[in-house]
Amino acid sequence: HEFTFASASTGQIKQWKCPEGAFMQNFDGHNAIINTLSVNEDNVLFSGGDNGSAAFFDWKTGYKYQSLDSIAQPGSLDAEAGIMSSTFDKTGLRLITGEADKTIKIWREDENATPETHPLEWKPTLGRQKF
């Protein structure tokens, strides 16, 4: 049985293998100070940032499925849009976040979403190489 964990800092999410602490991979594409990480049993990694940005990744491959921005409640400052904590519920289908605007939000997957309705901005991380 393999155990892994993730660490996060400004724009960096790294996956490590236990118990030896060997580096496995980077999760690219969440450019914020990352406050919280959660993984469900379907291998979906969620990351929440201090600016309200959020990203969903495949835990095994590092592929970013989706990114979105949480919106602070009316009357809050823009700086209070941060996502401070997160967990998936017992089913793994709903994500619960605690946010800097003092709200708790419950998120669920939009089953009608398609790449056309929710496009993902993606650019290759490797430059072109000639052989």
pLDDT of residue 93: 92
* 33 belongs to a structural domain: yes
Tally Cβ neighbours within 10 Å of residue 130: 3
The rounded Cα 20 to chain-centroid distance in angstroms is 25
- Name the domain count of the chain: 1
Q: What is the pTM of this model?
A: 0.81
DSSP assignment string, 20-76: TTEEEEEE----SBEEEEEE-TT-EEEEEETTSEEEEEETTT--EEEEEE--PPTT-
pLDDT digits (tens, 9 = 90+) for 106-118: 999 888 877 777 6
- CATH code for the domain of 38: 2.130.10.10
Name the residue with higher pLDDT: 11 or 37: 37
Tally Cβ neighbours within 10 Å of residue 62: 16
* 46 belongs to a structural domain: yes
Q: What average pLDDT does this structure show over 55-80? A: 90
pLDDT of residue 113: 76
